[in-house]
C-alpha cells in the first residue's frame, strides 16, 4: 500500500485520509488503489468499529485526477464487465458506520464517496459538486444514490448543473448533517463517533444493513429479512450485556462478539 491514503486507528475509530495535498487529493490510479485497500482494511479490522474519512491539506478531494485521464483505464475492466465493488463509493458493502469529515473541496468521485457515508460533518469552508458534466462525462454511482438521499431536484442541481455549492446550501439540501467552524471539524466528527460507540456494534451493523437493504426490497421481504437479522443479533454477547447493564444501572461494555 502506498501513502496517498492514510489509515490510522485509535481505539475503535479508524481515520482514513486522502493524502495527495499538493494536487488537492485528486484521485489518480495509486490513490484509488490505496483507497480500495483502506476500505478493505477497515471492513476486515475487528478492532475498528467506526470510520471517519477526511482529506489532508485544504481539500477533502477534488475527485478524479483530470491530468491523468486516459491512464490505467484497463484496471477498470472492459465495458462488458460489471465494475467490481472494490471500494465504499463503488458499492463495497460496509455495515460499520462511516462519517465523512469534509474539510474543503469535495468534488466528483469524492462526493460519490460522501454519498455512501452515513453522516457528513462539514467545515464552513467545504464546497460540494459534481463537475463531471462540465468535462463531458456523466456521473454514475452519484446519480444512482443522490436522488434518494437528497430528493430529485437537489440531486439534479448538483448532477446536471455541475456547479459547486457551499456547506450551508449542502446542509439545506440534506446532504450535510452539521456545519462547524473549520478548526472544530475533526473534534466534532470524533465526538459523533464516540456517541456511536455507545451503541452495540453488531446491533448497529444489523440496523444499517436492514435500513439499506430494506430500501431495495418489497416491504414484507424487508420485514422478514429484518426479523431474521434480529434473531441472529439476539444470540450475540452484546444482546445479553445490554439488558444486564440496564438492570445494574451501569454502562455496557460492548464486545462486538457473535
Binding of ligand COA by 67 (CB under 6 A): yes
Binding of ligand COA by 104 (CB under 6 A): no
Residue nearest to ligand COA (CB): 108
Give the interface segment with ligand COA, choosing from 22-30, 114-122, 147-155, 219-227 (CB under 6 A): 22-30
Give the interface segment with ligand COA, choosing from 4-12, 34-42, 64-72, 215-223 (CB under 6 A): 64-72
Give the span between the Cα atoms of 195 and 120, in whole angstroms.
15
Q: What's the closest the beta carbon of residue 26 comes to ligand COA, in angstroms?
A: 4
Question: 123: which residues sit within 8 A by CB, 6+ positions away?
Answer: 101, 102, 103, 104, 167, 179, 180, 181, 182, 185
Q: All 3 cell numbers of residue 8?
A: 490510522
**What does each C-alpha distance from 22 to 18, 37, 154, 166 come to in angstroms?**
11, 22, 31, 22
Which CB atom, from 63 or from 97, has the smaller least distance to ligand COA?
A: 63
For 162, other C-beta atoms within 10 Å of its C-beta total 17
Q: What is the per-residue binding string for ligand COA in 124-143, x denoting contact by CB under 6 A?
A: -------xx--x--------
Which CB atom, from 26 or from 100, has the smaller least distance to ligand COA?
A: 26
Lateral strand order in the sheet of 59-61: 59-61, 105-107, 127-129, 165-166
Binding of ligand COA by 105 (CB under 6 A): yes
| Among candidate residues 107, 67, 71, 110, the one with its CA nearest the CA of residue 87 | 110
Binding of ligand COA by 89 (CB under 6 A): no
Give the span between the Cα atoms of 11 and 177, in whole angstroms.
24
Binding of ligand COA by 55 (CB under 6 A): no
Q: What's the closest the beta carbon of residue 76 comes to ligand COA, in angstroms?
A: 14
Per CB under 6 A, residues contacting ligand COA are 23-24, 26, 62-67, 105, 107-108, 131-132, 135
Amino acid at each position: 500500500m502506498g501513502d496517498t491514503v492514510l489509515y490510522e486507528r485509535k481505539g475503535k475509530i479508524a481515520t482514513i485520509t486522502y493524502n495527495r495535498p499538493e494536487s488537492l487529493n485528486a484521485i489518480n490510479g495509486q490513490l484509488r488503489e490505496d483507497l480500495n485497500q483502506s476500505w478493505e482494511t477497515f471492513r476486515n479490522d475487528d478492532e475498528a468499529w467506526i470510520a471517519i474519512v477526511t482529506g489532508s491539506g485544504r481539500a477533502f478531494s477534488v475527485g478524479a485526477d483530470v491530468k491523468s485521464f486516459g491512464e490505467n483505464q484497463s484496471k477498470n475492466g472492459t465495458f462488458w464487465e460489471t465494475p467490481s465493488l472494490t471500494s465504499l463509493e463503488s458499492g463495497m458493502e460496509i455495515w460499520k458506520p462511516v462519517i465523512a469529515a469534509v474539510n474543503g473541496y469535495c468534488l466528483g468521485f469524492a462526493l460519490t464517496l460522501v454519498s455512501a457515508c452515513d453522516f457528513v460533518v462539514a467545515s464552513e469552508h467545504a464546497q460540494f459538486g459534481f463537475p463531471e458534466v462540465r468535462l463531458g462525462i456523466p456521473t454514475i454511482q452519484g446519480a444512482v444514490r443522490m436522488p434518494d438521499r437528497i430528493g430529485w431536484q437537489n440531486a439534479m442541481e448538483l448532477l446536471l448543473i455541475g456547479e459547486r455549492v457551499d456547506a450551508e446550501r449542502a446542509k439545506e439540501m440534506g446532504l450535510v448533517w452539521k456545519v462547524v467552524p473549520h478548526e472544530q471539524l475533526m473534534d466534532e466528527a470524533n465526538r459523533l463517533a464516540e456517541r456511536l460507540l455507545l451503541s452495540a456494534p453488531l446491533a448497529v451493523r444489523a440496523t444499517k444493513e436492514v435500513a439499506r437493504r430494506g430500501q431495495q426490497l418489497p416491504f414484507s421481504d424487508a420485514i422478514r429479512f429484518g426479523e431474521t437479522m434480529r434473531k441472529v443479533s439476539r444470540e450475540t454477547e452484546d444482546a445479553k450485556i445490554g439488558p444486564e447493564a440496564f438492570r445494574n444501572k451501569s454502562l455496557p461494555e460492548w464486545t462486538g462478539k457473535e
